[in-house]
Amino acid sequence: MFRFLTAGESHGKGLVTIVEGVPAGLALDENYIARDLARRQAGYGRGARMKIEKDRAEILSGVRHGLTMGSPIALLIRNRDWENWKQIMSITPAEQDVEPVTRLRPGHADLAGAMKYNLNDIRPILERASARETASRVAVGAVARRLLAEFAIEIHSHTLCIGGKWAAEAEKVNWARVEKSPVRCADSTAEKAMLSAIDKAKQAGDSLGGVFEVVASGVPIGLGSHVHWDRRLDGSIAQALMSIPAVKGVEVGAGFAVADLPGSQVHDIIKFGAKQGWRHVTNRAGGIEGGMTNGESIVIRCAVKPIPTMSNALPSVDLRTGRVTKAHIERSDVCIVPAAGVIGEAMLAIVLADALLGKFGGDHIAETLRNYRSYQDTVGLKKHNE
């Protein structure tokens, strides 16, 4: 129901995105999308590229007079850095010889991509495998977020760990504090430790990874399904988040911690209230049971590996000669965990938008909302004769 395609290279003219499945009548403008794009570019530890780009998605189609039309939405994010790469990334045959990139970078797609596509230059691989592509995803995620807002669904993220420096556990996250933090962390003490760790890694020519958490609140019961493997919502969410470059692990709710606990300390006790409806005493399931949302907030944690490109390059091998050399150095970040959280929000929003439209349908947002409200009226205490 809600799907998208992206095209573009890191240093090409720009990034192009087609978004399909958005109902007609949804208010949407470029400024709304720009907010999330700016959040993706922020964060302590980002590289020089973020000083060049000022991402903004231009809406080329699918919106008229501030409202979606039900037709595909086309978005364009121009790369300002293209001016410095016109020769290297020329669409037409280059007028001058362009030096190939052959020094493979451990941890990147270079080797596998070069073998798969029979290339003797890794430039085509590193350009598309670059995390620059995630700017398109964040733009799409903003469109999805705008849709979810009509149903009072909110999505936030925060940094839990950078370089082994963990934030203290908290029952309630201060999201305003998170957005003001240079590492998007609600714990001010942990924030200082994270900043120091990033500074030390930068001085050493190294990089740092960490863990971020994404939370979606206001999600209704019943999105997703138990009937087939590919309709289970937790599976779809895990796949979407694992597709983010550098994410190497995803856990839902208590995640791997449940492996060490007895069932009595894992499963969430159900309760019902006339005003609150169906609720749970705890939320170790992370808002999903049997592949379906259970009415609690969806809670996802992702492990992010350190960026493979480092100024203190790792030893490697030359693609053409097989000789030992230093890995190629491409301009990059020291730590991308804060930005990865924003990308995680986008991917979760995209999956939830698709699940919501799959459940409630509608070619116009008014129809979707009508179907949603009708369903909500039926989600209550079930009697035996119903």
Q: Which CATH number covers residue 132? A: 3.60.150.10
Confirm whether 96 is domain-assigned.
Answer: yes
The mean pLDDT value of the chain amounts to 94
Whole-model pTM above 0.75?
yes
Structural domain count of the chain: 1
Confirm whether 324 is domain-assigned.
Answer: yes
Confirm whether 383 is domain-assigned.
Answer: no
Confirm whether 384 is domain-assigned.
Answer: no
Confirm whether 385 is domain-assigned.
Answer: no
CB–CB of 384/42 below 8 Å? no
Residue type for position 66: G
Range of the domain at 357: 3-378
Determine which of 86-95, 138-147, 238-247 has the lowest per-residue pLDDT on average: 86-95
CB–CB of 221/379 below 8 Å? yes
CB–CB of 252/299 below 8 Å? yes
Question: CB-based burial of residue 74 (10 Å sphere; 0-12 exposed, 13-18 middle, 19+ buried)?
Answer: middle
Confirm whether 129 is domain-assigned.
Answer: yes
- CA 70 – CA 20 distance, rounded (Å): 8
> What percent of the chain has a predicted confidence (pLDDT) above 70?
96
Structure confidence by residue, pLDDT tens digits, 202-246? 999 999 999 999 999 999 999 999 999 999 999 999 999 999 999
